[in-house]
Amino acid sequence: MEYTKYTKEQWKGSVITSPLPPTLVTCGSMDKPNVFTVAWTGILCTQPPVTYISVRPERYSHELITQSGEFVINLPTRELVKAVDWCGVKTGRKVDKFKEMHLTAEPSAKVSAPLLAQSPVNIECKVREVVSLGTHDMFIADIVGLDVAKELLDEKGKLCLDKAGLLAYAHGEYYGLGKKLGTFGYSVRKKKNNKNIRKGK
């Protein structure tokens, strides 16, 4: 198989890794919930399950997470794309983002921070370490609980995230996830024998 080769030009180091998940992170409390947009997030470890978010120190949410040591990463759908963008440019110091975007805060099972009812998957997190990197501080956190929409489970209880219509963020633009191209390990998986078996054998 021949793959495409590209002619390159050299740029200085920058944040170009794409696509990324433009998540809605909730923090604060049920009495005073806050939500903001974070694309600098991902998985750091499988066992124990560890994630991170990178947040500018001057953001209101940075203050809330520093105080509580807890937050929830909420995976947004295409339906929430306007809220994702709006919550990334507005500050919770001045506006009630839940009210303005018609979002609903619900209690989490494992942390004091609320979760977002309109998100199909909520990842409850407790901060284990904060690393100052420059423009951003990285909150490294243990994933202590998951809240998963029953509507996305098949008859065997498997989570079918392809039905959720999740978002991706690439170089300043939002995208809906598209066609599935494969599954983990498909490139080395042995093909099933499709020969017809004679009746009675």
Domain CATH number, residue 143: 2.30.110.10
Partners of residue 167 on adjacent β-strands: 176
Residue 168: is it exposed, middle or buried by C-beta count within 10 angstroms (0-12/13-18/19+)?
middle
Q: Pairing state of beta strands 173-176 and 167-170?
A: antiparallel
Q: Is residue 192 part of a domain?
A: no
CB 38 within 8 A of CB 54: yes
The pLDDT score that the predictor gives to residue 184 is 87
Answer yes or no: is 13 within a domain: no
Query: Does residue 145 contact residue 74 with C-beta atoms inside 8 Å?
Result: no
* Among 128, 140, 127, residue whose Cα is nearest residue 40: 140
Q: What is the pTM of this model?
A: 0.91
Q: Is 154 part of a structural domain of the chain?
A: yes
What pLDDT shows up at residue 194?
A: 54
**What CA–CA distance (Å, rounded) separates 17 from 34?**
27
User: How far is it, in rounded angstroms, from Cα 36 to Cα 192?
Assistant: 46
pLDDT score, position 18: 85
Calculate the CA dihedral of residues 25, 96, 107, 52 and round it to 10 degrees. Answer: 10
Give residue 58's domain range: 23-176
Instruction: Classify residue 65: in a domain, yes or no.
Output: yes
Residue 77 DSSP one-character state: B
As averages over each run of 10 residues, the pLDDT of the chain (201 residues) reads 93 89 97 97 98 97 98 97 96 96 98 98 98 98 97 94 93 90 87 56 47
Asked if residue 108 is part of any domain, the answer here is yes
How many structural domains does the chain have?
1
pLDDT at 201: 47
Pinpoint the alpha helices (H) of 109-198: none
Q: How far apart are CA 76 and CA 118, in angstroms?
A: 8
Report the distance separating Cα 105 and Cα 54, nearest Å.
22
Residue 193: inside a domain: no
